[in-house]
Structure 1
């Protein structure tokens, strides 16, 4: 019984996953659809509905939040996303997202960069950014 409780306590953090939200600089006035996020992060689109170029931010390769966005929103693996981006980079139509060290760094960068978009866990939100999309699982 003790072992069962210990096992459950160890597994609980893995089972409780924070809500992922796509955030933007307040210069972005409208929410984004899942399709828009997919197109932006795969490099199929670079412009926002305002006509301005989106400035994308994400985390280094292998980061769990990248995995969560790619799997839950884009419905692709990290390798598939990177391969798709590579094609867009070769065509000259895409600029790779800038890399943030962590969620606090990403929020700082998005808050200070016009037309910037990134993603964080909901508990990291602050009033310097606008929520553009909530992942509803």
Structure 2
């Protein structure tokens, strides 16, 4: 009986710990010098290639995380309003018709932070727990 109870507790703990990354909060980040007014709609338009510039008139360079990551799935669903398969199909169509080039993809939060910190025109997204002083987190309204 005790062995069965311990097994249940271990499985529950593993589920709860494993699910924290699935529900992690994703925040949009920009270079600290970026003074543009950025909201959810403009972020969506930038990452879907419909807008090429920030409100300041400076070029916007979106940085995507690799497909399948928790941050990417969360961003696609919550900010772009599409699941990852829909976003992939959207970009495939634009690339095939010559009407767009998808955002550059990097592997993880650390790479997004490094690229955004190094380029005042970059915009990306990371897990809220990964934000460092080298970038500015944006609250999307």
Tell me the TM-score normalized by structure 2.
Answer: 0.82
RMSD: 2.0
Kindly indicate whether structure 1 or structure 2 has the higher relative contact order, using CA contacts under 8 Å at least 6 residues apart: 1
Q: CA deviation at 1:31?
A: 4.7
- Please show how residues 42-121 of structure 1 align to structure 2 within 5 Å: 42-89=48-95, 90-92=97-99, 94-121=100-127
Q: CA deviation at 1:38?
A: 1.3
CA distance in 1, matches of 2:98, 2:139: 28
**Matched residues, number:** 134
Secondary structure of 1:74's counterpart equals coil
Stretches of structure 2 lacking an aligned partner (at least 5 in a row): none
| Greater Rg by CA | 2
Stretches of structure 1 lacking an aligned partner (at least 5 in a row): none
Tell me the TM-score normalized by structure 1.
Answer: 0.84
Superimposed CA distance per residue, residues 49-73 of structure 1 (whole angstroms, 9 cap, x where no aligned partner): 0112211111222222111111122
Partner of 1:18: 24
CA distance in 1, matches of 2:83, 2:130: 25
